[in-house]
Structure 1
Amino acid sequence: MVTAKRWVLVKQFVGKPKESDFCLEEETLPDEVNDGEVLCEAIYLSVDPYVRFLSSVMMKPGDTLVGEQIARVINSKNPKYEVGDVIRLSSGWRTHTLVTDMSQIDVMPVLGDLPVSLPLGAAGVTGLTALFGLNDKLKPVEGETVLVNSAAGAVGSVVGQIAKMKGCTVIGFAGTDDKVQWLTELGFDHAFNYKKVDVDEALSMAAPNGVHCYFDNVGGYLSTQTLPHIHRNGRVLIVGSISTYNDIGKSTGPYPFEDILKKCMTVNGFSIYDMYPKWRDGEAQLVDWIQQGKLQHRETITEGFDLMPNAFMGLFEGTCTGKALVKA
């Protein structure tokens, strides 16, 4: 028998997630599997803010927290998977998984010598969100100005680098001086610590003629400050709203609708899951850029499965640069 651990939701989050919202449970799994089944052990687990957003929609108390992981096959009676194979698995916050439904296993991109953790980050959903959100939705062209917030995060850092490849002027907002320094190293034309600058003044300086494309990971007041600086007929893509995920009650403004009207903006929401048919090609492109050195990435890795909630709560405190992962 295999002793497995899993993190379950104790109660729905109210405000910021806290330790009492999570419970670590043990369960016993058979070490022998039936025909067609696979037994896996987690290597890396993804830590994502969307868990906070989806918790009230997809989860109830007692459920295992949702998420992806990179896992190693430790027993198999499925001809597609051999012991030792490394796979990407949607099984949530758990150390071991008995896979009976093969749709939980997603195809891994061909990584060569690259780290196996990449399909959870820059060569996975976060990288794809940047790639398709920017190229397929915002569609910047050479010479335009692209603005991205949470720019040192797993998505934002990729957005900025791809926009530079396209010949755009890139502006990024991040929450610490160290993150701003990294953005400068990545080639961002302008990078600001939004906690230390006047956003209006910063954008007036960096984009005197306006922002053509705004990739919004944050929402809230920062985005409200940004909209007056959008170019006429500018494009706004709302990909996340991490600044308001923990809000209790309704916001009372300020409201952005007048700016949207005056500038005739195009404002779209975006879910990467609508782009699923293109994922394989997108991942191959991201891997190729990483191998060529055109796309840089960082990972913030927390050691130890027992610290999953700590890593998750850290997302809302700005402690992560690049992709947040837990090494089991």
Structure 2
Amino acid sequence: MSTPQTYRKLQAIAIGSDFRNVTKVTEHSFDELIKSLGPKNILVKNIHLGINASDVNYTNAKYTPGIVPPFDVGFEGIGSVVAVGSEVTNQKVGNFVVYTLFGSFSEYVQVPAETAIPVPAPNPEFVALQTAGITSSLALTFSGRMTTNETVLVTAAAGGAGQIAVQLAKLAGNHVIGTCSSDEKVAMLKGMGCDRVINYKKEDFAQVLKKEYPRGMDIVIECVGGEFFQTCLNNLAVCGRLVVLGSVSSYTGEGGLAGDNVNTLQLLAGSKTVCGFYLPAYFPHVPAHMMNMYKLMAEGTLKVHVEDKGYVGLEQIADAVEYLHSGKSMGKIVVTLPEDNKSKI
């Protein structure tokens, strides 16, 4: 097969949360990429790229303060190994791998071999587990300290992380509540085992919790922020744990990624916990949790919903990001890279 002379990737050319206007597809030398392959790295030709709500936080420099454009963007992908570094022994050319890495929105990307997880096929469902799924699994285990027979609330439950959190909490023997914004999402979540789905466009979120769950929530997986965060905090049970995965309601506003205030006296009397969860802090635990989710998926007990919107090519990543933030998306959103002549090796 022919070796390309160039490859393309998506880069941030300015700082901001308007993803479309601060990013640009750029072209680079493939020969230089090959020559720079680190001894412990592998070169992956991407097939599917995962879209995350926090992609706009990265372009807005919220995760890497002081970063100077241009810089590569994107968090995750799945593809085939086309080259391996001189010291790599656990990967080989032809393998399919899924990975998490800053700068994944590229036709080709260097990935540390030890962090790339082999998969049997380049299915987009594996991408759905890589960042969103693993975040939910780790957050429930370490921050939520989940056991069984508890009441678990998941906000934005029909999203990439939410859909996995709902199912893992249910599989652990808990009563699970999910919030969403449409009847289609209600049906999806009920099909995944959610015990109570609250369509906040039709029901008063706070009133439902107050009336139907007066004891409060043992665990909350919170992704929305703002009024949602405050409602969740107000309905946290004694010894309850509220885990903040993000604040998506603020991501695309001016400045992006705004936080919420917590009155510590509200926590004190009920021995309540509010904590944040950021995936990089838990990287050593990723392989074991990924293997568990792969097992559950193979058994058919964990369903992974990938919404196929037909996004193809780096040029449509901005469309996918905007669709995710429209509030209409269900499950995981992916972009597929085409098999064109320029990108073959």
Structure-2 residue corresponding to 1:63:
71
Structure-2 residue corresponding to 1:42:
46
Contact 1:4/1:95, CA 8 A, preserved across alignment: yes
Q: Deviation of residue 85 (structure 1)?
A: 2.4
Of the candidates 261, 275, 284, which is equivalent to residue 268 of structure 1?
275
Q: Deviation of residue 32 (structure 1)?
A: 9.6
The one-letter amino acid paired with 2:193 is G
The one-letter amino acid paired with 2:97 is I
CA distance 1:7–1:228, shift in 2 (3 Å): same
Stretches of structure 1 that go unaligned for 5 or more consecutive residues are none
3-state SS of paired residue (2:160):
coil
Structure-1 residue corresponding to 2:205:
199
Structure-1 residue corresponding to 2:343:
none
Structure-2 residue corresponding to 1:223:
229
Of the candidates 205, 213, 216, which is equivalent to residue 210 of structure 1?
216
Alignment of 1:69-108 (within 5 A): 69-75=77-83, 78=86, 80=89, 81-89=91-99, 90=101, 91-97=103-109, 99=110, 103=112, 106-108=115-117
Structure-2 residue corresponding to 1:312:
321
Structure-1 residue corresponding to 2:195:
189
Distance 2:83 2:220 in 1: 47
The one-letter amino acid paired with 2:204 is D
Structure-1 residue corresponding to 2:331:
322
Q: Deviation of residue 315 (structure 1)?
A: 2.0
Structure-2 residue corresponding to 1:12:
15
Q: Deviation of residue 30 (structure 1)?
A: 2.1
Distance 2:74 2:233 in 1: 33
The one-letter amino acid paired with 1:269 is G
3-state SS of paired residue (1:121):
helix
CA distance 1:204–1:255, shift in 2 (3 Å): same
Distance 2:75 2:154 in 1: 25
Aligned length: 320
3-state SS of paired residue (1:150):
coil
Give percent identity, aligned residues only: 23
Of the candidates 287, 291, 297, which is equivalent to residue 294 of structure 2?
287
CA distance 1:165–1:26, shift in 2 (3 Å): same
Stretches of structure 2 that go unaligned for 5 or more consecutive residues are 338-345
The one-letter amino acid paired with 2:189 is L
Query: What are the superposed Cα offsets for residues 239-266 of structure 1, whole Å, 9 maximum, x if unpaired?
Result: 1111122333699999552543453311
The one-letter amino acid paired with 1:6 is K
3-state SS of paired residue (1:60):
coil
Q: Does structure 1 residue 171 correspond to structure 2 residue 171?
A: no
Q: Deviation of residue 160 (structure 1)?
A: 1.2
TM-score, normalized by length of structure 2? 0.83
TM-score, normalized by length of structure 1? 0.87
3-state SS of paired residue (2:156):
coil
Distance 1:195 1:83 in 2: 49
The one-letter amino acid paired with 1:53 is N
3-state SS of paired residue (1:263):
coil
Distance 2:116 2:122 in 1: 16
Alignment of 1:18-29 (within 5 A): 18-29=19-30
The one-letter amino acid paired with 2:224 is V
Contact 1:87/1:105, CA 8 A, preserved across alignment: no
Structure-1 residue corresponding to 2:58:
54
Distance 2:260 2:296 in 1: 40
Structure-1 residue corresponding to 2:141:
135
CA distance 1:32–1:318, shift in 2 (3 Å): closer
Between 126-135 and 245-254, the greater mean CA deviation after superposition? 245-254
Distance 1:32 1:107 in 2: 18
Cα RMSD for the two superposed structures: 2.8
Distance 1:250 1:271 in 2: 17
